[in-house]
Amino acid sequence: MIKQLIPQEYCLKCSGCCRFNKEDSVWSPCLLDEEIISFIDKDGFPALSVSSDKRLHLVANPQGEGFICPLLDAKENKCRAYQMRPFECQLYPFLICLRGKKVHLTVDLNCPYVKENLNSFELKEYINYLTDYLNLPKQRKLLLENPQILQAYEEVLYIMELDLTKE
């Protein structure tokens, strides 16, 4: 589990992430291979549909326009799978971004918390933590084995290039 930066109270007041303008959004959560197996084997969990590119199929927003993550309880604005949420969701508002053949750690500039704290010591400290975490051999292996989570996101701030070459 990745240490979280944004206080839960802040996220619960926001209605940004987990909501999408279109059904096939690049921002839709992409699952690691092991997460797909984990969700399939989970008893009592809502049925999830996963695309061939290993993304969660979004569902129509019952409270308005657009689409939402199928794990989101729109009424409560909470994740139904918070304790076992996908890697990409744990990482957010940070993203692993692919540009050409380079892989970067980026941050979503649409996140209100990021906007308010972009130059804070806390954010810089968290970036150091995340950099160390993503450079661990286990995490580099995870990224190499799950290329589906390397996406070409827009409106992100590039933090650093990640070296995924095998040692």
Mean pLDDT over 156-166 rounds to 84
Kindly indicate the confidence band of residue 44, based on its pLDDT and cuts at 50, 70 and 90. low
Q: Kindly state the DSSP code that residue 4 receives in the 8-state scheme.
A: P
What per-residue confidence (pLDDT) applies to 47?
A: 66
- Report pLDDT digits (tens) over 62-78: 888 899 999 898 888 88
Pairwise CA distance, residues 28 & 23, whole Å: 8
Pairwise CA distance, residues 66 & 63, whole Å: 9
Compute φ and ψ for 156, nearest 5 degrees.
-125, 155
Pairwise CA distance, residues 37 & 34, whole Å: 5
Kindly indicate the confidence band of residue 1, based on its pLDDT and cuts at 50, 70 and 90. confident
Listed range (8-22, 108-122, 132-146) with the worst mean pLDDT = 8-22
Whether the per-residue pLDDT at 113 is higher than 90: the answer is: yes
Pairwise CA distance, residues 154 & 158, whole Å: 10
Whether the per-residue pLDDT at 150 is higher than 80: the answer is: yes
DSSP 17-82: TTEESSTT-TTSPBPPHHHHHHHHT-TTPPP--B-TTSBBPPEE-TTSSSEE-TTEETTTTEETTG
- Report pLDDT digits (tens) over 115-141: 999 999 999 999 999 999 998 999 999
Whether the per-residue pLDDT at 82 is higher than 60: the answer is: yes
| 3-state DSSP assignment of residue 94 | strand
